[in-house]
Amino acid sequence: MPPVMNPPSRVGKKHWGEVLMTASNKNQASVTLTDNQTGKAVELPVLSGTVGPDVVDIRTLYAHTGKFTFDPGYGATGSCLSGLTYIDGDKGVLLHRGYPIEQLAAQSDFLELAFVLLYGELPNTEEKAGFVNAITRHTMVHEQLSIFLRGFRRDAHPMAILCGVTGALSAFYHDSTDINDPKQRIIASHRLIAKMPTLAAMAYKYSLGQPFNYPRNDLNYAENFLHMCFSVPAEDYVIDPVIADAMDKIFILHADHEQNASTSTVRLAGSSGANPFACIAAGIASLWGPAHGGANEAVLNMLAEIGDRSRVQEYVNKARDKNDPFRLFGFGHRVYKNYDPRAQVLRKSCHEVLDKLGVSDPLLELAMELEEIALKDSYFVEKQLYPNVDFYSGIILKAMGFPTSMFTVLFAVARTVGWISQWKEMVEDPTQRIGRPRQLYTGPAQRDFVPLDKR
């Protein structure tokens, strides 16, 4: 059994019940609603977090008024307490456990960020070495998994494979599916972070018809992933530090992003007590959509469709046209109404990688042209539609040699850290309940069943 690192004793002590109490005590403001029928006034507490907007605590609303709130898309709903990630979309701020993403991208590395997200604090030297060792020594997958994987069609989309094999992990690692055992939770978290690159690389190799590469413990997380994807038995992949650094940055920038669709999916799946491997498989399914993680693949497909720099304005016009469903992939964000701070970091990294590789790809030149035009276009400026992280990640990954079908897979590798940290936080929250939204029913009112011969 590979080494298991116990959570450092100095972190993870905060009790969410205390946070709630402090939050409600901190702010005595209240919201008053009046029930139309009874005329009864209902006081709702307003809770404050560390930073960011206060929230109205509506948990007693239905009990007092018989009314639910209505918020499709959850644009105005806080679904949980979380101490992992803070986003200020208006200012373009992204913090993980308080640390700005720009500082993490410049001074940290992916596994250190994984530690910070999972355990709440920066590791000291010994803790970091222990964590890196634990992850590195969990990267191999059960040999039987490769047989399972070979059951897929060769032309299967790697996201379909990743979704399937991640779900299957719960059939291979029974000893870490008891969510009530803190040690098993840690082992499952380490296994997922460690094995996801191996599974992703296997999905890629399978589509190429090449043999799987075993992980190498002498390489760091990003280097090992590049090795597993690009080495062949006849020739080792020579790791360029600029490329490995860009890979690590892509992982850092995709590690966590608060309560987005896939993270909320992981939490919702986990809220019923489902095991972590099944929950992460659910997150992968949600990430796959083109409005979410699938956007990086969609960006490159869109660039291929545009085809030539001379047609960029035509596509910008299509995106502006209300009667045309077309959207510019890689632009806009639900939360950021300013430049996505991750995109700022990746933009620089993108140019470094392209310079280093001396890539002259017409699609990449076209992307740069599109960026320039869209940033000046009145529609995009007025609607605050800035390039998002997926715009640049797709371009870098293409330059590195990844096919578009692998882009979302790479996003999933990185986001596994955020998903499992959020899952762990949820399971350890004593106030956690099964997620169960309500609805505004618009179907027929009660009516009598009509037998077949009378219809």
The closest alpha carbon to 277, from 201, 172, 371, 375, belongs to 172
Of the residues 390, 429, 448, 453, only one is catalytic, namely 390
Position 138 contacts ligand CMC (CB under 6 A) = no
390 catalytic, yes or no?
yes
C-beta nearest to ligand CMC: residue: 332
Position 167 contacts ligand CMC (CB under 6 A) = no
∠ CA 221-333-108, rounded to 5°: 25
Position 108 contacts ligand CMC (CB under 6 A) = no
Position 342 contacts ligand CMC (CB under 6 A) = no
Applying CB under 6 A, among 252, 364, 389, 399 the residue interacting with ligand CMC is: 389
What is the SS3 string spanning the chain?
CCCCCCCCCCCCCCCHHHHHHHHHHHCCCEEEEECCCCCCEEEEEEECCCCCCCEECCCCHHHHHCCCCCCHHHCCCCCCCCCCEEEECCCCEEEECCEEHHHHHHHCCHHHHHHHHHHCCCCCHHHHHHHHHHHHCCCCCCHHHHHHHCCCCCCCCHHHHHHHHHHHHHHHCHHHCCCCCHHHHHHHHHHHHHHHHHHHHHHHHHHHCCCCCCCCCCCCHHHHHHHHHHCECCECCCCCHHHHHHHHHHHHHCCCCCCCHHHHHHHHHHHCCCCHHHHHHHHHHHHCCCCCCCHHHHHHHHHHHHCCHHHHHHHHHHHHCCCCCCCCCCECCCCCCCCCHHHHHHHHHHHHHHHHHCCCCHHHHHHHHHHHHHHHCHHHHHCCCCECHHHHHHHHHHHHCCCHHHHHHHHHHHHHHHHHHHHHHHHCCCCCCCCCCCCCCCCCCCCCCCCHHHC
Query: How far apart are the C-alpha atoms of 195 and 186, rounded to whole Å?
Result: 14
* Options 1-9, 35-43, 388-396, 434-442: segment touching ligand CMC (CB under 6 A): 388-396
With contact defined as beta carbons under 8 Å apart, do 196 and 416 qualify?
Answer: yes
Position 23 contacts ligand CMC (CB under 6 A) = no
The closest alpha carbon to 175, from 183, 166, 165, belongs to 183
Using CB under 6 A as the binding rule, the residues of this chain from 344 to 383 that contact ligand CMC are 383
Least Å distance, CB 411 to ligand CMC, is 8
Position 112 contacts ligand CMC (CB under 6 A) = no
Applying CB under 6 A, among 106, 129, 291, 304 the residue interacting with ligand CMC is: 291
Of the residues 248, 257, 333, 340, only one is catalytic, namely 333
Least Å distance, CB 287 to ligand CMC, is 7
Position 385 contacts ligand CMC (CB under 6 A) = yes
Please, what sign has the CA dihedral across residues 63, 67, 72, 77? negative
* Options 166-174, 195-203, 286-294, 352-360: segment touching ligand CMC (CB under 6 A): 286-294
Using CB under 6 A as the binding rule, the residues of this chain from 309 to 328 that contact ligand CMC are 319, 327-328
Position 260 contacts ligand CMC (CB under 6 A) = yes
* Options 76-84, 185-193, 364-372, 386-394: segment touching ligand CMC (CB under 6 A): 386-394
Position 332 contacts ligand CMC (CB under 6 A) = yes
Position 76 contacts ligand CMC (CB under 6 A) = no
Applying CB under 6 A, among 165, 295, 399, 420 the residue interacting with ligand CMC is: 295
324 catalytic, yes or no?
no
With contact defined as beta carbons under 8 Å apart, do 256 and 96 qualify?
Answer: yes
Position 215 contacts ligand CMC (CB under 6 A) = no
Position 388 contacts ligand CMC (CB under 6 A) = yes
Position 173 contacts ligand CMC (CB under 6 A) = no
Residue closer to ligand CMC, measured from CB, 89 or 435: 89
Residue closer to ligand CMC, measured from CB, 35 or 324: 324
Position 292 contacts ligand CMC (CB under 6 A) = yes
Residue closer to ligand CMC, measured from CB, 223 or 256: 256
| Residue 190 structure tokens | 């380490």
Position 334 contacts ligand CMC (CB under 6 A) = yes
How many residues at the interface with ligand CMC, by CB under 6 A? Answer: 19
Residue closer to ligand CMC, measured from CB, 137 or 334: 334
Position 255 contacts ligand CMC (CB under 6 A) = no
Least Å distance, CB 393 to ligand CMC, is 9
Applying CB under 6 A, among 112, 127, 390, 425 the residue interacting with ligand CMC is: 390
Catalytic residue positions, numbered:
333, 390
**Contact footprint for ligand CMC (CB under 6 A):** 260, 291-293, 295, 319, 327-334, 383, 385, 388-390
